[in-house]
Amino acid sequence: MVKETMKVGVIGAGKIAGRHIGAYKKFADVEVVVSDIDGDASGRLASHFRIDCMGKTADIIENDAIQVVDVCTPVTSHKEIILAALKKGKHVFCEKPLCMSLLEAFQIKGAAENAEKMLMVGYLYRFHPAFVKVKEWLDEGLIGNVHFGIFRVGGRGSHQAWKHLLSCGGGVINEMLIHKLDLVLWYLDRIDSVKVSAKEILIKEREIGGQIVKADAEDMILLDLRCGGARIICEADFVSPVYMEYLEFHGDNGSIFTSVLSHLPTILFLKEGRGIYDKGSTFVNFQQVNLFDLEIGHFLNCIKNGTRNMNSIDDSIKALEIAEKLKEA
């Protein structure tokens, strides 16, 4: 029996688009095309992956043979593309964050419900095996009631000028912090209050592509969150010379530490043994994985099987509600 081919149109030809296309190419029953307002960029990406290239966004949206639209453009353009794709009856995968504001998010939610199509947002950390394991440990109550946690992610920034410009939807809130807010909500189900301890532009000028860019979007933010009985310190930045990421939880029966960085171990410490885990420290090493492969595979399977995806629009709305307040702070 021959499998029906699913045709995906990727809009945007930056680094993330390449990661998505690489993931789609691993599925024999998926055909990919790409489009970008920069024809040279989309041409190079199409040539690299040996796929077809379309000239305009509208060429993908209006093409009835394309069933899925993958949005890899700056956040300022997300709403327009998503609404157009849903109106044409296409499933949509969108890189985080979903859009620029809560108002846009509710417009998108209504359109997705009316279209009865899959809409998934790319919060890929949820798919890391270490983070999935931590979710299992917390749900099993191994460390008891969580009373404190630390979430951190940092990078050097300076990859693209738009990431440091407010007018283009840049800033560390949209690019980095939103991932951590999504994880906090995934793990603890709630964020009751948010206090901004610091929000700054630490590096005011960036050299990008041989030009000096004057940054006006925040490149560091530090939050104090209250989540039920837990206090969570959450930090994100564009000032770390090397990518750094980790999280830790502390409860009345122990602690958890983990990271997407494969050279850092995942550690479960229990004061008293529970389940299959003894008292003391348990070390688990997870090999490096391709998170884009995992999330794109999950998205495609949800479409094929008609199942709910892990990163729903309601999850995105919860994170966006907090992010919007932070931008105004």
Quick one: average pLDDT of 277-306?
Answer: 95
User: CATH 3.30.360.10 spans which residues of the chain?
Assistant: 126-289+322-328
In angstroms, rounded to a whole number, what is the distance separating the alpha carbons of residues 78 and 314? 17
Contacts of 210 (CB under 8 A, 6+ apart): none
Indicate the pLDDT class of residue 2, thresholds 50, 70 and 90: very low
In angstroms, rounded to a whole number, what is the distance separating the alpha carbons of residues 116 and 271? 48
Query: What is the reported pLDDT for 3?
Result: 63
Q: In what order do the strands lie in the sheet with 280-284?
A: 193-200, 220-227, 230-237, 146-154, 244-251, 254-258, 266-270, 280-284
Q: Which CATH class is domain 126-289+322-328?
A: alpha beta
> What is the pTM for the complete model shown?
0.92
Quick one: average pLDDT of 181-187?
Answer: 97
CATH code reported for the domain at 6-124+292-312: 3.40.50.720
In angstroms, rounded to a whole number, what is the distance separating the alpha carbons of residues 95 and 1? 34
Residue 144's closest CA among 293, 250, 18?
A: 250
Query: What is the reported pLDDT for 185?
Result: 96
User: CATH 3.40.50.720 spans which residues of the chain?
Assistant: 6-124+292-312
pLDDT at 1 over 60: no
Residue 126 near residue 182 (C-beta atoms within 8 A)? yes
Query: What is the reported pLDDT for 159?
Result: 86
- Residue 237: count of CB within 10 angstroms of its CB: 24
